[in-house]
């Protein structure tokens, strides 16, 4: 257990590799109740959010979920988030370490009327079940048809008889669901899922496995691939950038960055040998400094190779480029590869 963003969080239960294997082959259960949860109501939530975030909010369909990023004026990322458009309200899930910052950011731009914010951080729980057998394991405990739910959509129903938002979203590169319930019901839901005899092979999973899984799937982690100074453009999240929207915070800076096309960018790299690339290690190209490692891990889903993301100069970012990673004074060779490292077969 470690302290993280004001919560005591499990790094691992039975071991990172065992938990990783469960998610890739069966399913894993994650307690993500540390994540910030804000409820937004009012007629102006959608147009107001479109002025703050880079992806479109107003075009979301009922019960749809959508990834989004809030930027500062220079284009750096305040946070990456997920919006859920529910029946009579919106749910915004933010990173735990940024919950206070994002709450202050939203309130600083709050209109005089039309938007009401409620902070449920620390009161609402979030339990995720992730893996190819998630539908099978979860279906007996909920009153909605999970197989009929599309990816990045949600439903309001019940899990173990208690009210819940059930969303087909996740952060592992696998199929799965996230369950939003009141914190008072969290233990009941967690224990029911974990102790179900029909869910043989379901493993509780900690932060360690979660980080390896998301890295293999090429998903950014705030503070690593996205920061107040690393923009969504640099992080390869331009697919979420809707420049056809009217003005939003950071739009001018992001447009200018794209137009110049000289920015450093996040790439995937695979180490040649067994030496692990770690955050902050220096990256070289043709013998000169080219950037630094942002995340790194052994990747069981990638032939147990050591993989990493690195923020490097444009000249060093093309797939197939040979780079060096300096580890304790020795330069180890690596190759730039496309992200993600891993993609599920179906």
Angstrom distance (rounded) from CA 247 to CA 157: 37
Strands 282-285 and 330-337: unpaired
pLDDT value of residue 345: 85
On whether the CB atoms of residues 14 and 167 are closer than 8 A, the answer is no
pLDDT value of residue 183: 98
User: What mean pLDDT is predicted for residues 73-77?
Assistant: 98
Q: What b-and-e string marks burial along 87-119, b requiring 16 or more CB atoms within 10 Å of the CB? A: eebbbbbbbbbbbebbbebbeeeeeeeebeeeb
Q: In the chain, where are the structural domains located? A: 2-215, 225-337
pLDDT value of residue 188: 97
Q: What b-and-e string marks burial along 244-274, b requiring 16 or more CB atoms within 10 Å of the CB? A: ebeebbbbebbeebeeeeebbbbbbbbbeee
For 10, phi then psi, to 5°, come to -80, 125
Q: Domain 2-215, what fold?
A: Gyrase A; domain 2 (3.30.1360)
pLDDT > 90? residue 346: no
pLDDT value of residue 140: 98
Strands 176-182 and 116-119: unpaired
Residue-wise pLDDT for 288-313, tens only, equals: 999 999 999 999 999 999 999 999 99
Residue-wise pLDDT for 128-185, tens only, equals: 999 999 999 999 999 999 999 999 999 999 999 999 999 999 999 999 999 999 999 9
On whether the CB atoms of residues 238 and 220 are closer than 8 A, the answer is no
What does CATH list as the number for 225-337? 2.40.30.110
Tally of CA atoms within 13 A in the half-sphere of 187 that contains its CB: 1
Nearest to 237 by CA among 57, 92, 53: 53
């Amino acid at each position: 257990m470690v302290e993280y963003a004001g919560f005591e969080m499990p790094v691992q239960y039975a071991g990172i590799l065992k938990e990783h294997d469960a998610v890739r082959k069966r399913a894993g259960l994650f307690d993500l109740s540390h994540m910030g949860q804000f409820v937004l109501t009012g007629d102006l939530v959608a147009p107001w959010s479109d002025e703050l975030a880079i992806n479109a909010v107003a075009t979301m369909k009922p019960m749809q979920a959508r990834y989004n990023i809030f930027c500062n004026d220079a284009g750096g990322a305040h946070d990456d988030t997920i919006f859920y458009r529910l029946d009579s309200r919106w749910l915004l899930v933010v990173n735990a370490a940024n919950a206070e910052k994002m709450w202050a950011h939203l309130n600083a731009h709050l209109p005089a009327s039309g938007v009401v914010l409620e902070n449920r951080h620390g009161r609402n729980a979030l339990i995720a079940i992730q893996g190819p057998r998630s539908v099978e394991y979860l279906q007996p405990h909920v009153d909605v048809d999970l197989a009929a739910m599309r990816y990045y959509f949600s439903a309001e129903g019940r899990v173990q008889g208690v009210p819940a938002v059930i969303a087909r979203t996740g952060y592992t590169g696998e199929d799965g669901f996230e369950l939003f319930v009141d914190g008072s019901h969290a233990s009941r839901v967690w224990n029911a899922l974990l102790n179900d005899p029909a869910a043989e092979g379901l493993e509780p999973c900690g932060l360690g496995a979660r980080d390896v899984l998301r890295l293999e799937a090429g998903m950014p982690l705030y503070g690593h691939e996205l920061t107040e100074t690393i923009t969504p453009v640099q992080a390869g999240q331009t697919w979420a950038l809707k420049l056809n929207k009217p003005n939003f915070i950071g739009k001018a800076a992001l447009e200018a960055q794209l137009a110049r096309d000289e920015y450093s960018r996040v790439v995937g790299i695979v180490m040649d040998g067994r030496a692990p690339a770690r955050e902050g290690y220096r990256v070289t190209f043709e013998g000169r400094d080219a950037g630094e490692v942002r995340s790194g891990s052994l990747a069981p889903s990638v032939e147990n190779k050591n993989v990493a993301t690195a923020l490097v100069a444009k000249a060093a970012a093309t797939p197939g480029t040979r780079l060096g990673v300096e580890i304790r004074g020795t330069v180890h060779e690596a190759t730039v590869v496309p992200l993600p490292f891993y993609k599920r077969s179906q």
